[in-house]
Amino acid sequence: MSVSATPAATVSVPGALRHDWQQVELLALFELPFPELLHRAASVHRQHFDPAEVQVSTLLSVKTGGCPEDCAYCPQAQRYHTGVDAQKLMSTEAVLEKARQAKAAGASRFCMGAAWRSPKDRDIPKVAAMIREVKALGLETCATLGMLSAPQADALKSAGLDYYNHNLDTAPDYYGEIIHTRDYQDRLDTLGHVRDAGMKTCCGGIVGMGESRAQRAGLLLALANLPAHPDSVPINRLVQVEGTPLHGTAELDPFEFVRTIAIARLTMPRSMVRLSAGRESMSDELQALCFAAGANSIFHGEKLLTTGNPDVERDQALFARLGLRPMAVQVESGTVHADIVETAACERAA
Ligand code: SF4
């Protein structure tokens, strides 16, 4: 029996890097029979990655709570009563101790997150010192600090920052339901400053916030049609925290979450697709389906900002059961921006 797929689901060359995806194509992918979608995503995954390897990152909240923004999912927004106490920026030495522990536990990348609308210029030298010291341990460095100006992005790059995380969160036409204190263009501007500074981007979103399937497709469309695909694409599943406006939102069907992962893999074939927040509540079987659908990065260990995360032992046991292994840390000469490599290859061939 032939697989019923709409023409729109079959037009693209599997695994090709594109920035001209259309909403109708992504919706057609969402409509594919589940095994067919997984097969396509797994095939593209193998074109670009060893499917037995999973990149492991650790995220440390270096400044928790007290954020003036109003992201409807976030327990760190000071306007919601979630029991998260505002803390000051950690000392460099305290961050370094956590980074050493993360490395010992197998992490190759260490991400430092601060609950800021944007860093103040006086904060940049303190964060830069953390970045330099963590990098000296042999870890890739990532930071998520809110909106950045161009000079701030340049300063972080000069300190040795490899990745900057800044999510689009959701589709443009659902964004106004979730955040009111900054707009979509602010996010795109920060991502532009990060790219212009020469850093790699980590950019994804959150699903299960009450958005429609078309809006999930809209999020992936916005990500896949960025000027360069994000090097890492975290796909978060909403962690419902009491006190936030999204507490009580209807749960997303787990198979719909796997479909979202698969379509992220198909539309951004060279990016690391990351299981991020929400993984703690996923069964081993659901995580295995996500790996089969092309997810190849996780956060583990330390608390994922202020929500829980499976402990290291559970991850190690799951990797052993599935025959997966942590991806080795990439040396600077070996880390490449997917789109830049592809573009260079095209230019040489032209
Ligand atoms: S997601 Fe970030 S910017 Fe939004 S409220 Fe939370 S800490 Fe602030």
Whether 115 is in the pocket of ligand 1, judged by its Cβ within 6 Å, is yes
Contact present, 54 and 44 (Cβ < 8 Å): no
Query: Which run of H or E residues covers position 54?
Result: strand 53-63
pLDDT-derived band at 310 (thresholds 50, 70, 90) equals: low
What pLDDT is recorded for position 347?
27
pLDDT-wise least confident of 113-117, 213-217, 289-293 = 113-117
Query: Which of 67, 109, 195, 290 is flagged as catalytic?
Result: 67
Is any ligand 1 atom within 6 A of the Cβ of residue 146? yes
Q: Give yes or no for residue 305 having a pLDDT over 50.
A: no
Tell me which DSSP letter residue 329 carries. P
Is residue 40 annotated as a catalytic residue, yes or no?
A: no
What pLDDT was estimated at residue 334? 33
14 band by pLDDT with thresholds 50, 70 and 90:
low
Closest ligand 1 atom, residue 77 Cα: 5
Residue numbering of the annotated binding site for [2Fe-2S] cluster:
111, 142, 202, 274
Ligand 1 proximity of 69 Cβ (cutoff 6 Å): yes
In this prediction, residue 13 has a pLDDT band, given cuts at 50, 70 and 90, of low
Question: pLDDT at position 308, please?
Answer: 52
203 as an active site residue: the answer is no
- pLDDT at position 335: 33
Q: Over 90: is that where the pLDDT of 217 sits?
A: yes
Of 40, 182, 187, 202, which residue is the catalytic one? Answer: 202
Q: Counting beta carbons within 10 angstroms of the beta carbon of residue 315, is it exposed (0 to 12), middle (13 to 18) or buried (19 or more)?
A: buried
Question: Does 71 sit in the ligand 1 pocket, CB within 6 Å?
Answer: yes
Distance 59 CA to ligand 1 centre (A): 15
Instruction: State the distance from the centre of ligand 1 to the C-alpha of 114, rounded, in angstroms.
Output: 9
Binding residues: 67, 71, 74, 111, 142, 202, 274
Cα of 13 vs centre of ligand 1, distance in Å, is 37
- 301's torsion region: left (phi>0), alpha (psi -120 to 50) or beta? left
**Catalytic residue status for 216:** no
Binding positions for [4Fe-4S] cluster are 67, 71, 74
> Catalytic: 290?
no
Give the Cβ contact number of residue 237 at 10 Å.
Answer: 25
Q: Which residue has the higher pLDDT, 105 or 64?
A: 64
Q: Which numbered atom of ligand 1 lies nearest the CA of 67?
A: 8
Query: What's the whole-number mean pLDDT along residues 71-98?
Result: 91
Enter the pTM of the model. Answer: 0.87
* DSSP-based helix, strand, coil % in the chain, nearest 5: 40, 15, 45
Delimit the domains of the chain by residue range. Answer: 44-330
Please tell me the predicted confidence (pLDDT) of residue 3: 38
Secondary structure (DSSP) of 91-160? PHHHHHHHHHHHHHTT-SEEEEEE--SS--GGGHHHHHHHHHHHHHTT-EEEEE-S---HHHHHHHHHTT
- The stretch 287-295 carries a mean pLDDT of 98
Lowest-confidence region among 260-269, 289-298, 332-341: 332-341
Q: Is the pLDDT of residue 34 over 50?
A: yes
| pLDDT tens digit sequence for 148-190 | 999 999 999 999 999 999 999 999 999 999 999 999 999 999 9
Q: How would residue 321 be classed by pLDDT, with cut points 50, 70 and 90?
A: very high
Q: In angstroms, what is the span from residue 74 Cα to ligand 1's centroid?
A: 6
Instruction: Indicate whether residue 239 lines ligand 1 (CB < 6 A).
Output: no
Q: For residue 190, how far is its CA from the centre of ligand 1 (angstroms)?
A: 15
What's the fold here for domain 44-330?
A: TIM Barrel (3.20.20)
Evaluate if residue 82 carries a pLDDT over 90: no
- Residue 265: active-site member: no
